[in-house]
Amino acid sequence: MNKLPSLKDLYDGSVELAKENDLNILLNQEPKVQWIKDHPIAKGVKYIPIEVVEYLLTVIFIHWSVEVKNIQVIANSVVVTLRLHYRNPIDGEMRWQDGIGACPIQTAKDASATDFTQVKSDAVMKAAPAAESYAIKDAAEKLGKLFGKDLNRKDALGYTALGNKFDMASPEQLNYIDVLRYKTTIPEDQLDVLYDEMNTKGVTSTRAAEIINMLEMNLDHTTPDLSTQQSINQTLNFKIQD
């Protein structure tokens, strides 16, 4: 039987490393920038499309399925509740997460949203699958940040402590992050958030590796190669001269 960690262990990061935490760390990596889209209706809201979510579920868990628990109409929307089943790749056991999604039933132009005499002929046919997709995404988000868990939260807790790696980032890592900043296609406002995190809180070696990985996944390949320390130093010197 596994020993339950104490509150002190959780606070100081001395939780014993377990394979299960390796999966948790993976699931709580930042999603690729290209996966994140602006919501077409809700201003300032980000989301990850269902096709990306389904791709991640397949690649990480291989075996997963959806069990629809209930479909009902609430107000003018189709509401779907379901259970997302997936096989844990660490122990092979089946796990699940519940999700809920809703989509409004379209009515004719200028008609009241609750005027069901003006419902479009294909409204339910469109609303039901859309509500199911929202429910799948809602369930998947609970698995971790990779699926969009903290996408629209201003404050989010990092999960690197699960790996029990609290050594601080090395100067080489921090220098490399500075270099990558000039090669990445990530928007400047998102880079400012990363640098604010690094400057105000400091980052562990593990967190720095996460940032480097994210920057490397979004490189602008039209700029010079940064694969060697010499080219890194050259780029840094060039920026200092600027």
- Locate the domains of the chain by residue range: 17-147, 167-241
β-bridge partners, 240: none
Does residue 163 carry a pLDDT above 80?
A: no
Average pLDDT over residues 132-147: 93
Burial of 186 (0-12, 13-18, 19+ CB in 10 A): buried
Q: Are 191 and 181 in contact (CB under 8 A)?
A: yes
Of 110-114, 143-147, 205-209, give the range with the top mean pLDDT: 143-147
Tell me, what's the pLDDT at 81? 96
Mean pLDDT, all residues of the chain: 77
For residue 173, is pLDDT > 50?
yes
What is the band of 240 on the pLDDT scale with cuts at 50, 70, 90? very low
User: pLDDT higher for 197 or 100?
Assistant: 100
List, as one string, the DSSP characters of 189-221.
HHHHHHHHHHHHT--BHHHHHHHHHHHHTTB-T
Handedness of CA 175, 229, 29, 161 (dihedral sign): negative
| pLDDT score recorded for residue 53 | 94
Are the C-beta atoms of residues 76 and 113 closer than 8 Å to each other?
yes
Q: Count the residues in the chain.
A: 242
Highest average pLDDT, of 31-35, 132-136, 234-238, comes from 132-136
- Torsion sign across C-alpha atoms 163, 169, 173, 177: positive
Span 17-147: which CATH code? 3.30.390
pLDDT of residue 156: 47
